[in-house]
Amino acid sequence: MFKVYNGKKDKVYQILNEKGVIINEKDEPKLKKETLLKMYKTALLARQADIKGLQYQRQGRMLTYAPNMGQEATQIGIAAAMEERDWFSPMYRDLSIQLYRGEPLENIYLYWYGNERGSIKPSGVKNLPINVIIGSQSNIAAGLAMASKVRGTDEVTVFTIGDGGTSHGEFYEGLNFSGAFDLPVVAVIQNNQYAISTPTHVATKADTFAQKGVAFGIPYALVDGNDVLAVYKAVKQAIDHARKGNGPSLIEAYTYRMGPHTTSDDPSIYRTKEEEDAWAKKDPLIRFKAYMISKGYWSEAEESAYLEELDTYIGDVFRKVESYGAEVALEEIFEHTYKELTDELKEQIKEHKQFMEEL
Amino acid sequence: MKTLTLLQAINEALDQAMAHDDRVVVYGEDAGFEGGVFRVTAGLQEKYGKLRVFDTPISESTLTGSAIGMAINGLLPVAEIQFDGFIFPGLTDLVTHAARFRNRSRGQYGVPMVLRVPHGGGIRALEHHSESIEAFVNAVPGLKVVTPSTPYDAKGLLLAAINDPDPVVYLEPKKIYRAGRQEVPNEMYEIPIGKANVVKEGTDMTIVAWGSIVRIVLKAASMVLEEGINVEVIDLRTLVPYDKETIINSVKKTGKFMVVTEAVKSYGPASELITMVNEKAFYSLEAAPVRLTGFDITVPLARGEKYHFPSEEKVVSYIRKLHKEKA
């Protein structure tokens, strides 16, 4: 598919259309029922966790929160195509991938609640902490993959980046390095149409982001990012290619950020209701659900029951986070600056403790 | 035991570290096939192969960024920034990730990388080839910064840096890469990070210096000794986290304090050291501390260098002035 879907604007790889109908039967991935259920249920969890996260923030209970709403298909497609042993070098809007690959919602909420402990990953979950600075995950991915090559392991490293992130030099520098050494890297541009308020056409004259792959000399493709099957298929192919030692690939997943950039953002300033409504019809969950029902793997009744279950679950998780998330001991903010506390840091702790005792 | 230049001592440290531990990889712009523009890594690719010693595209951002990924994924990367003034595109990843990954991941991922940087001026080079970057890297929580002034320290400090669990910036005083030879033990050894070295004992004042400036201060100190001024000279060796105790003990003994560095004056490393001495040994001071530094200007090209970098004559002059100050 990387040869046919060549980064031209009118060549968007799609398997599942907006109505949830398979339009490209020979490419439909043969996924097991359990896998598809895990994919769909994680997408629903991510969507509900976003809706609730935004509500908690408005209630003054959650701090700044960056929802992934609208991008679930892109992210679930990526995560499902990865093996457990593969590395993930994330951007900051990757909730569905985080959840699918085994990060507990409790940790993720704890992070957005303002506590670094939320970035601790369960053992064996090879997701790096989310990357708030733009673009540099491409460099880190190159290093992870270089180490895999030097050590002779067969891990692949996947990194995500936004359309805005491709304006950063590091995106090019890191991927060029990965290309030069044939490193096992898969880069996915989540083109959600906006870098906060700046639309893609203001940020680049390039027709598509996929075509940037030409300059790296690596395979590239433009994929419907709201089609979970197309993303899965493309990323899987890129991962297989990388694992065989053939080097990196670049995929542009064309999608839409249905929510705000973060809770500090008001999209009504820079986009129209008509635009949002048009994209709402392309909501990735609508077609995913239709596909699951058509397969006989899901029903409306199961959907209602599961949403209810999620409502309770997410509420419980957040209340748990609230119960302890604000407790941070003074030593905690110092103790991981270096492996061992320096004398200077010990002194700074001591001085502040004296001040606290004097209060 | 054999005699090596500072450059050879660094090469030997890299060689032995690579032989000792498969996880060590060495790379940079022209650092592989050619052995680096200064030849610091000469012979290593032949010996350890292209997988562990390699040339990179010209991207300092990827040099530092990829080192982070390699360190997280089980290697001990030693990356070379070609010249001090080229580090700036690499600072992004150094500051925003390398220095913070341990903290961000609550200790789950340390970044045991070494960034080697040929450092400092006085070599009549082009713009961006003679810079002092202490003020940039020293102020980043999570980084360690070391710099040797002798072949012996160069080997021991580099081995300590490679074995350190945290990211270390290793500043190489390129002016004295080949300035002299010193006996260096054949075996592997470490100079502990965080320990300064009293390289000359004295009673009348304390001077702290590091890198290529240590030699200049030592020469100045021997010149004034004939006049009866006995200077204690401390080679700081580690800039972060630095050895306060050695400095404080010395100042308590001598009562006078001077820092000599080619780095900037304002907000530069001398300011930190003097503030610390004021905090910890104020009542031992018999005169206001002195900083003899590079100017707060762009490092001049070759013909203007003579004014900018502290010379023996200028150090002597500042020593005499400080010596005359009475409590």
The Cα B78–Cα B43 span in angstroms is 16
Q: Answer yes or no: A270 catalytic.
A: yes
The Cα A194–Cα A209 span in angstroms is 13
Binned at pLDDT 50, 70 and 90, residue B327 comes out as: low
Report, as an integer, the average pLDDT of B285-299. 97
Region(s) of chain B under CATH 3.40.50.970: 2-184
Q: How is chain A split among helix, strand and coil, in percent rounded to 5? A: 50, 10, 40
Query: What is the structure's pLDDT at A4?
Result: 67
> Nearest residue on chain A to B68, judged by CA atoms?
A140
pLDDT for residue B226 is more than 90: yes
Query: Which fold would CATH assign to domain A25-328?
Result: Rossmann fold (3.40.50)
Q: Ramachandran region of residue B194, left (φ > 0), alpha (ψ -120 to 50) or beta?
A: left
Residues in B touching A88 (Cβ below 8 Å) = none
Distance from CA of A109 to the nearest CA of B (A): 15
Q: Answer yes or no: B129 catalytic.
A: yes
Nearest beta carbon to residue B66 from set A117, A146, A337: A146
Distance from CA of B141 to the nearest CA of A (A): 7
Distance from CA of A356 to the nearest CA of B (A): 21
- To the question of domain B2-184 being in CATH 3.55.50.30, the answer is no
B96–A133 CB contact, under 8 Å: yes
Which pLDDT tens digit goes with each residue over B7-16? Answer: 999 999 999 9
What count of CB pairs under 8 Å joins A to B? 142
Which pLDDT tens digit goes with each residue over A59-109? Answer: 999 999 999 999 999 999 999 999 999 999 999 999 999 999 999 999 999
Distance from CA of A20 to the nearest CA of B (A): 39
Using the CB atoms, write b or e for B99-138: b if 16+ within 10 Å: bbbbbbbbebbbbbbbbbbbbbbbbebeeebbbbbbbbbb
Question: The CATH number of B197-324 is which of 3.40.50.920, 3.90.1170.50, 3.30.1120.80, 3.40.640.10?
Answer: 3.40.50.920
The Cα A103–Cα A84 span in angstroms is 12
> Nearest residue on chain B to A142, judged by CA atoms?
B66
The stretches in chain A having pLDDT less than 70 are 3-5
B52–A150 CB contact, under 8 Å: yes
B61–A116 CB contact, under 8 Å: no
A174–B96 CB contact, under 8 Å: no
Region(s) of chain B under CATH 3.40.50.920: 197-324
Put simply, whether B241 touches A (Cβ < 8 Å) is yes
pTM beyond 0.95, yes or no: yes
The full set of domain ranges for chain A reads 25-328, 330-359
DSSP state of A326: T
The structure tokens listed for A80 are 């499902």
A87–B73 CB contact, under 8 Å: yes
Report, as an integer, the average pLDDT of B29-46. 97
Per the DSSP assignment, residues forming a β-bridge with B132 are: none
Which pLDDT tens digit goes with each residue over A206-224? Answer: 999 999 999 999 999 999 9
The Cα A191–Cα A12 span in angstroms is 13
The structure tokens listed for A314 are 């997410």
Nearest beta carbon to residue A139 from set B65, B73, B194: B65
Residues in A touching B57 (Cβ below 8 Å) = 173, 176-177, 180
Q: What is the mean pLDDT of chain B?
A: 97
A147–B59 CB contact, under 8 Å: no
A140–B92 CB contact, under 8 Å: no
Using the CB atoms, write b or e for B58-80: b if 16+ within 10 Å: ebbbbbbbbbbbbbbbebbbbbb
pLDDT for residue B24 is more than 70: yes
